[in-house]
C-alpha cells in the first residue's frame, strides 16, 4: 500500500481566487489521479497527473481551470483556479502503486467557496 497525505485538509475561499492542493506519497508510484467528490455523490475523475509531461484531462475539465503539476514520482499539485461556489467539493488524489492496479486514496481536501 501507500501512505498519502494532502494539504490543506480543508479551506474556505473567496470567489475568484485560486487554491493549490498538494498530494504527497511516501513511495514512488506509477500513476497519480485527481478526483472531485461533491456531497453525496460519486467520484469524478478530473485528470491523470503524468510525471514529466502534461496531465491528461477528462471530458468537462480543462487545464486553465485545473492546472496540475507532477514534478516527480511522489508529489503532485492540483490548482482550482478562479473559483466559484460551484467548485465547492472534496478533492481527492489517488495513486496506483508500482506493480499493483489498486488505487489508494488520499484523505481529501474539503473546499468551500463563498
Partner 1 sequence: GENVEQHPSTLSVQEGDSAVIKCTYSDSASNYFPWYKQELGKRPQLIIDIRSNVGEKKDQRIAVTLNKTAKHFSLHITETQPEDSAVYFCAADNTNAGKSTFGDGTTLTVKP
How many Cβ atoms from other residues are within 10 Å of residue 12's Cβ? 11
Angle at 65 between CA 61 and CA 66, to 5 degrees: 70
**H-helix segments, the chain:** none
Contact string (CB under 8 A) for partner 1, positions 2-31, x = contact: -----------------------------x
Residue closer to partner 1 (CB basis): 101 or 114: 101
Q: Does 102 bind partner 1 (CB under 8 A)?
A: yes
Q: Which stretch binds partner 1 (CB under 8 A): 11-19, 43-51, 66-74, 75-83?
A: 43-51
49 closest CA partner among 83, 16, 86, 24? 24
Q: Which is nearer to partner 1, 81 or 90 (CB)?
A: 90
| 104 contributes a contact to partner 1 by CB under 8 A | yes
Amino acid at each position: 500500500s501507500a501512505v498519502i497525505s494532502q494539504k490543506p485538509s480543508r479551506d474556505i475561499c473567496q470567489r475568484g481566487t485560486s487554491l493549490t492542493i498538494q498530494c504527497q506519497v511516501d513511495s514512488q508510484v506509477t500513476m497519480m489521479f485527481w478526483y472531485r467528490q461533491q456531497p453525496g455523490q460519486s467520484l469524478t475523475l478530473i485528470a491523470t497527473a503524468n510525471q514529466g509531461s502534461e496531465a491528461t484531462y477528462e471530458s468537462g475539465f480543462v487545464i486553465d481551470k485545473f492546472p496540475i503539476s507532477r514534478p516527480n514520482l511522489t508529489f503532485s499539485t492540483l490548482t482550482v483556479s478562479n473559483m466559484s461556489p460551484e467548485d465547492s467539493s472534496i478533492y481527492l488524489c489517488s495513486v496506483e502503486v508500482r506493480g499493483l492496479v489498486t488505487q489508494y486514496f488520499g484523505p481529501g481536501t474539503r473546499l468551500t467557496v463563498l
